[in-house]
Chain A
């Protein structure tokens, strides 16, 4: 209880983002919905400025502020760069779609900015209370975004479903946090870690609290058995919103999960490792098998993302520095694959509007070869075929699992990725060998084409050149988390 002003520098990008978002909100309020494009472009610019400020001014050194509630280190910088990229790209590819569907409200970029701010707070959380407020700021913005197209029943249904289930999961999370606080007397990660590092079995209350905490977080990363909302929300939400959901929030929630477990409960690794292993196996299997019967490409991507969360969690289950490093590499690669794939889905338009079934892709190689090649690259990469970026992600993950002695987990992961290959390859078969359907219309906007092109290049064998620097950055980030 001292009167000193806390150090603001570590949180400078977040402060800039918060103030900038409020200024843009005012711009939107006074200029009305005609300012949609302007506000969107300024939002992207704001995200870029924040990212640059973070890299140049804050840096990767570990700093805590606000009474130890906020921490920034190399791990946070790595995850936040991914979050900034995910949000900015999602904003870039959304403009055209929203204008066409007459939901080009200026609140859309503002809500994306606030959601991003929530994610940054999640990534930097060093206290269970900041975990909760960050998570709520992000989730609340996402609920509204899901229901953005309020004239369409599917969209409002998606928003309501997401809201009700999200509120339930927040309840579980809070219950877990209160139990942990009751049995340890603190919500701060560093203090928790030292308090819970003693010998012998920990209190039953701590373990129950940990289970509830993990359940709440598993919901946010949409890991099985808390994945039920994902397909409906992904299908019902407007496509650019789905693209946003699948990219940045996943990265942030995963980073939060990693920091909470590694920094907050290192003494309880035996307890949480079992839970993570179970969640990981279940997610990989559900992601592989249920996706086999999907016909809607957005639903397919939802199950695909559940599977990918399962693979990424293998890295956390390993609990070693190599595991965290592999997880970060996986998240970075997943981000490029997902954003590319969703940009491609956004370009699936006919004269009568957007189409989103797999059969609509039939014969795309004859009507639009570059697009077919780009989608093939994304699908091969998502499947983890060698030579493409997705392969490196899985390779590092399974390597870390084997090194940590989790051979069965690696084998299950490998087998489920073989099953998952089937549905990724089916899309490629439909595009190259089926009777051509009507060609897609152009006019999806230049930014969408640029995103598809860039993501395709990053996922193509060019990734050989980039993987070592990515691995270096991930190692730098993982190192800061484990050995402070």
Chain B
């Protein structure tokens, strides 16, 4: 009973993933494509949960749905890309695409059938870290990342830093004459600098200072 339920859930998620994947490339409206893509990500996250990899599922939702898909939406909506034009050559290139797909399939099949779980493979693969059933895999991954893989983790951080520096170097432009917010100046500003109390004589009005505040 329990098993059957998992099976049903699996097939629902798997079918949704495949169907929305197909719709991503066949939808006429690119915005709809991105929305289908988000659905595909969500269903794939569901599949991960079924596998017991809840951390990956969360990552998929946070990173892919939260960041990547939104970025795609921005690109689709902000840039003026003529998608019908892009799609024109599709039928023409179809045979080539099918051929490449077929080759990839054959390669994968070759690998799948020759792959054997030899003694060394089993022993080597088991060594990275014993899995304690009592901790969640988010915690287990965190413990591994900050101990055994601290070197890779830190270097990955440096790569991100370089990416940030690179993005600034390649796109930042100094614009002269832009009025920037100077928080220090704003905070230093006192009422005395801004206000002036004037006794207005009846019938004479006020002459405003010409300087703009």
Residues on A lying within 8 angstroms of B by beta carbon are 1-3, 6, 11, 18, 22, 25, 66-67, 69-70, 105, 107, 110-111, 114, 117, 121, 129-130, 133-134, 136-137, 140-141, 143-144, 147-148, 150, 159, 179, 182-186, 191, 195, 203-205, 208
Whole-angstrom distance between the Cβ of A177 and the nearest chain B Cβ: 13
Q: Does B166 contact A (CB under 8 A)?
A: yes
Judging by beta carbons under 8 Å apart, are A111 and B162 in contact?
yes
Contact B124 A191, beta carbon cutoff 8 Å: yes
**Which B118-143 residues sit within 8 Å CB-CB of chain A?**
120-127, 129-130, 143
Give CA–CA (A415, B52) in the complex, Å.
Answer: 61
Do residues B155 and A137 form an inter-chain contact, with CB atoms below 8 A? yes
Pick from B84-92, B107-115, B188-196 the stretch touching chain A.
B107-115
Task: Report the 4 A-B pairs with minimum CB-CB distance, sorted nearest first.
Answer: A185-B124, A185-B125, A144-B166, A66-B151
Chain B residues with CB below 8 A from A114, complex form: 158, 161-162, 165
Q: How many residues of B contact A (CB 8 A)?
A: 35
- Asked if B169 CB lies within 8 Å of chain A CBs, one says yes
Cross-interface CB contact of A205 among B115, B120, B147, B161, cutoff 8 Å? B115
A130's contact among B124, B152, B159, by CB below 8 Å, is which?
Answer: B152
Q: List 14 A-B contacts (CB under 8 A).
A: A1-B130, A22-B161, A69-B151, A114-B165, A137-B158, A140-B162, A144-B169, A147-B170, A150-B170, A184-B124, A186-B124, A186-B125, A195-B121, A203-B115
Q: How far is the CB of B121 from chain A (nearest CB, A)?
A: 4
A143 to B125, CA, bound (A): 35
**Interface status of B156 (Cβ within 8 A of chain A):** yes
Q: Is the CB of A111 within 8 A of B169?
A: yes
Contacts of A186 in B (CB 8 A): 124-125, 127
Cα(A133)–Cα(B129), bound, Å: 21
- Please determine whether A183 and B169 come into contact, CB atoms closer than 8 angstroms: no
Closest B residue, CB atoms, query A182: B115
Q: How far is the CA of A203 from the CA of B165 in the complex (A)?
A: 43
Question: CB-defined interface of B157-193 with A at 8 Å, one 1/0 digit per residue?
Answer: 0110111011011100000000000000000000000
Task: List chain A residues, Cβ under 8 A from B122.
Answer: 185
Known interface pairs A143-B166, A186-B127, A203-B114; 14 further A-B residue pairs with C-beta atoms within 8 A, sorted by A's residue number: A1-B144, A1-B147, A6-B151, A69-B152, A70-B151, A117-B158, A129-B149, A130-B151, A137-B155, A141-B162, A141-B166, A144-B169, A184-B121, A208-B111
Q: Whole-angstrom distance from the CB of B191 to the nearest CB of chain A?
A: 32
Nearest A residue (CB) for B132: A1
Chain A residues with CB below 8 A from B116, complex form: 203
Q: Is the CB of A137 within 8 A of B159?
A: yes
> Across the interface, which residues of A come within 8 angstroms of B170, CB to CB?
144, 147, 150, 159
| A185 B162 Cβ-Cβ under 8 A | no
Return B44 CB to nearest CB of chain A, in Å.
19
Q: What per-residue 1/0 map shows which CB atoms of B73-115 lie under 8 Å from chain A? A: 0000000000000000000000000000000000000110011
Which residues of B have CB within 8 Å of A117? 158
Checking B126, B143, B155 against A121 with a beta-carbon cut-off of 8 angstroms, the contacting residue is: B155
- Residue B7 at the A interface, CB < 8 A? no
User: Could you tell me the distance in whole angstroms from the C-beta of A303 to the nearest C-beta in chain B?
Assistant: 28
Q: A142 CB to closest chain B CB, in angstroms? A: 10
A185/B123 in contact, CB under 8 A? yes
Residues in chain B within 8 A of chain A (CB atoms)? 110-111, 114-116, 120-127, 129-130, 143-144, 147-152, 155-156, 158-159, 161-163, 165-166, 168-170
Give Cα A121 to B154, complex, Å: 12
Do B120 and A137 touch across chains, with their CB atoms under 8 A apart? no
- Docked complex Cα distance between A396 and B38 (Å): 59
Contact across chains for B155 and A144 when beta carbons are under 8 A apart:
no
Contacts A140-B162, A144-B166 given: A195-B155 contact, CB under 8 Å?
no
B97 to chain A, nearest CB (A): 18
Q: Which residue of A lies closest to B154 (CB)?
A: A18
- Rounded to whole angstroms, the CA-CA distance of A144 and B126 in the bound complex is 40
Question: Chain A at the B interface: mostly helix, strand, loop or mixed?
Answer: helix
Contact across chains for A1 and B143 when beta carbons are under 8 A apart: yes
Given contacts A184-B120, A185-B124, contact A18 B169 (CB under 8 A): no
Report B105 CB to chain A, min CB distance, Å.
15
For the complex, what is the distance from the CA of A184 to the CA of B130, rounded to whole Å?
18
Contacts of B129 in A (CB 8 A): 1
Contact between B114 and A133, CB atoms less than 8 A apart: no
Known: A133-B155, A184-B120, A186-B124. A144 touches B150 (CB 8 A): no
Q: Are B166 and A140 in contact (CB under 8 A)?
A: yes
Distance in angstroms from B5 CB to nearest chain A CB is 32
Cross-chain contact A140 with B159 (CB below 8 angstroms): yes
**Contact between B150 and A111 (Cβ–Cβ < 8 Å)?**
no
Q: How far is the CA of A208 from the CA of B122 in the complex (A)?
A: 20
Nearest chain-B residue to A197 (Cβ)? B120
In Å, the complex CA distance between A69 and B165 comes to 27
Chain A residues in 8 Å Cβ range of B114: 203-205
Distance between B146 CB and nearest chain A CB, rounded to angstroms: 10
B168 touches A205 (CB 8 A): no
- A18 vs B162: C-alpha distance when bound (angstroms): 12
CB of A232 to closest CB in B, whole Å: 18
The one of A3, A18, A69, A205 that contacts B158, using a Cβ cutoff of 8 Å: A18
Q: How far is the CB of B156 from chain A (nearest CB, A)?
A: 6
Pick from A6, A111, A130, A185: contact of B155, CB below 8 A. Answer: A130
Whether A66 contacts B150 in the complex (CB less than 8 A), given A140-B163, A144-B162, comes out as yes
In angstroms, how far is the closest chain B Cβ from the Cβ of A202? 11
Q: State which of A111, A130, A191, A203 has its C-beta within 8 Å of the C-beta of B166.
A: A111
Q: Which residues of B lie under 8 Å from residue A159 when comparing CB positions?
A: 170
Cα distance A150–B126 when bound, in Å? Answer: 49
Q: Are B130 and A185 in contact (CB under 8 A)?
A: no
B135: min CB distance to chain A, Å: 10
